[in-house]
Chains A and B, each alone.
Chain A
Amino acid sequence: AQKITQTQPGMFVQEKEAVTLDCTYDTSDQSYGLFWYKQPSSGEMIFLIYQGSYDEQNATEGRYSLNFQKARKSANLVISASQLGDSAMYFCAMRAIGPGGGNKLTFGTGTQLKVEL
């Protein structure tokens, strides 16, 4: 079974500062993908960034980067130059082949990020 752990229920960061949101995962699969999603107060789930288990370089998407440490089974999200609009819930998720084959996406419990002036 796959499991995602996000140990930070809430985080605060000053505007323009960088912040790291932690994510560890557990899986016996060799091939898997790790995702981060943002959920603002309006409720939609917005895809931010993806890292494949065989990718050697850390993924980056604009101000988002994923600090992937495979041996530690961690996939932390780094947001640089935080903006007020970054205030939201952030979910780490993993996609691996589940029973019966296929693309189940397992989510962590989320981290609520608040960006302050």
Chain B
Amino acid sequence: DAGVIQSPRHEVTEMGQEVTLRCKPISGHDYLFWYRQTMMRGLELLIYFNNNVPIDDSGMPEDRFSAKMPNASFSTLKIQPSEPRDSAVYFCASTTGLPFSGNTIYFGEGSWLTVV
């Protein structure tokens, strides 16, 4: 299996530009998560989907952030307009099964975003 695939791996953009991060979960997984990692705040859950439906978006910092999952094999996280404080590593992760089933949550390699 190819694992969780994220793109781009690295992105440098200017403040005010739109940024789109992409994720392909592991085939057959019905849960998809977007996390953000910064030195100051550690790993934060932004949003997660179950069967393509957003379940909890309480971690999305503000209206500039939006996430979609149009089908089971693709999700996007969009920031518009981007700001320097959005600079972080954004991880996508996927899993299947019930919470206490022990099914591992697999992470992509992350998208390293720098907003200048």
The residues of A with any CB-CB pair to B shorter than 8 Å are 31-33, 35, 37, 43-45, 47, 50, 52-54, 91, 95-110
Q: A102-B48, A107-B42, A109-B42 are in contact. Are A53 and B100 (CB under 8 A)?
A: yes
Please tell me the number of chain B residues within 8 Å of chain A, measured between CB atoms: 26
What's the Cα separation between A35 and B93 when bound, in Å?
A: 14
Q: How far, in Å, is A38 (CB) from chain B's closest CB?
A: 11
- The one of A37, A45, A52, A109 in contact with B100, judged by C-beta atoms closer than 8 angstroms, is A52
Query: B56–A99 contact, CB under 8 A?
Result: yes
In the complex, which residues of chain B have a beta carbon less than 8 angstroms from the beta carbon of A37? 107
What's the Cα separation between A76 and B55 when bound, in Å?
A: 30
What is the chain B residue whose CB lies nearest that of A105? B105
Q: A43-B109, A45-B91, A100-B56 are in contact. Are A105 and B45 (CB under 8 A)?
A: yes
Listed A/B pairs (9) with beta-carbon separation below 8 Å: A33-B99, A33-B100, A33-B102, A43-B112, A44-B110, A95-B105, A100-B55, A100-B56, A105-B45
- The one of B43, B55, B110 in contact with A107, judged by C-beta atoms closer than 8 angstroms, is B43
Interface: B106 (CB within 8 A): yes
Query: A110–B109 contact, CB under 8 A?
Result: no
Query: B100–A32 contact, CB under 8 A?
Result: yes
In the complex, which residues of chain A have a beta carbon less than 8 angstroms from the beta carbon of B98? 103
Given A33-B101, A100-B56, A103-B98, 20 more A-B residue pairs with CB atoms under 8 Å apart are A31-B100, A32-B99, A33-B102, A35-B105, A45-B93, A45-B107, A45-B110, A50-B102, A50-B104, A52-B100, A54-B100, A95-B99, A98-B56, A102-B48, A103-B31, A103-B48, A103-B99, A105-B105, A106-B45, A107-B42
Q: A43-B112, A45-B91 are in contact. Are A101 and B55 (CB under 8 A)?
A: yes
Q: A53-B100, A110-B42 are in contact. Are A104 and B105 (CB under 8 A)?
A: no
Q: How far, in Å, is A46 (CB) from chain B's closest CB?
A: 8
Q: How far, in Å, is B74 (CB) from chain A's closest CB?
A: 20
Query: A91–B56 contact, CB under 8 A?
Result: no
Q: Which of B30-59 contact A (CB under 8 A)?
A: 31, 33, 42-43, 45, 48, 50, 55-56, 58
In the complex, which residues of chain A have a beta carbon less than 8 angstroms from the beta carbon of B55? 100-102
